[in-house]
Structure 1
Amino acid sequence: MAAQLAPAGVPRLARGVRLRHDEARGQWVLLAPERVLHPDPVAVEILKRVDGERSIDAIIDELITAFAVERERVAQDVDAFLANLATKGMVEVA
C-alpha cells in the first residue's frame, strides 16, 4: 500500500505528463512518456484539479462541494489515487 500523502501537499503532474481530452474518442487520456492511461470519470475530476497550486485538502474540499459526498471517503480516494500516480512518477507532491 502506498504511503499517505500530506494533506497540505501540493500535487502537480510530473514533467512530460499531460491530461488531454481525446476528441476523436470522446474521452480523457493521461499522457506520459511512452504511456497512455485512460482515467475513469472520478480520476479525471481529481486530475483536473492537480495544477501545482491547490493543496490536496483544497482538491478534496472542491470535490466535496461539487459532488456532495462524504469527506472521509473522498479524502481516502484522492490520497490513494495520487499516491499511486506518485509511485509511478506521474505526480509530484511538494
Structure 2
Amino acid sequence: MNAQSSPEDALPALTRPTLSKRFRLQWEPAQNAHVLLYPEGMVQLNPSAAQILLRCDGTREMNALIADLERAFDTAGIGPEVRAFVSHAQERGWLE
C-alpha cells in the first residue's frame, strides 16, 4: 500500500478471505480465547480478531462478511476497521 492507499483499495469487495492452510483457528480453554495454531507456535486473538477470522472461510465476500459482523454485534460503520484487520492478517500470512 502506498501512502495514499486505504484498506478499501487493498481489499476489493469481491475478496473472499480464507484462513491459510498453515493455521488452525480454535477455542483454547486454557487461554480463555480463540487462538491461531501453527507448527512454530500460537497466536492468542482478541475477541474482535477472532470474530473476523471465524468468518474468513472463503464463502463470504468482504461486504457480506462486514454486514454479518454488523448484524451480529448490532453496529454499523465497522468496514474500514475490518478491512484493515483482514489486510493485516493477509500480510502476516494468516489469510489467503
Scaled to the shorter chain, the TM-score interval is: 0.7 to 0.9
**Identity value in percent:** 33
Q: Which moved more, 1:49-58 or 1:1-10?
A: 1-10
Q: Is the contact made by 1:32 and 1:90 (CA closer than 8 Å) also made in structure 2? A: no
Asked if 1:30 is matched to 2:36, the reply is yes
Q: Alpha-carbon deviation of 1:11?
A: 0.3
Higher relative contact order (CA 8 A, sep 6+): 1
| Residue aligning to 2:61 | 55
Q: Is the contact made by 2:27 and 2:34 (CA closer than 8 Å) also made in structure 1? A: yes
Rounded Cα–Cα distance in structure 1 between residues aligned with 2:89 and 2:52? 12
Extract unaligned runs of 5+ from structure 1. Answer: none
TM-score (norm 2): 0.83
Instruction: Please tell me whether Structure 1 or Structure 2 has the larger radius of gyration of its CA atoms.
Output: 2
1:47-84 residue CA offsets vs partner (Å, 9 max, x unmatched): 1111111111111000111112122xx11111111101
Rounded Cα–Cα distance in structure 2 between residues aligned with 1:62 and 1:39? 19
Asked if 1:82 is matched to 2:81, the reply is no
Asked if 1:16 is matched to 2:22, the reply is yes
TM-score (norm 1): 0.84
Extract unaligned runs of 5+ from structure 2. Answer: none
Q: Is the contact made by 1:11 and 1:56 (CA closer than 8 Å) also made in structure 2? A: yes
Output the aligned Cα RMSD.
1.7
| Residue aligning to 1:5 | 11
Q: Is the contact made by 1:28 and 1:44 (CA closer than 8 Å) also made in structure 2? A: yes
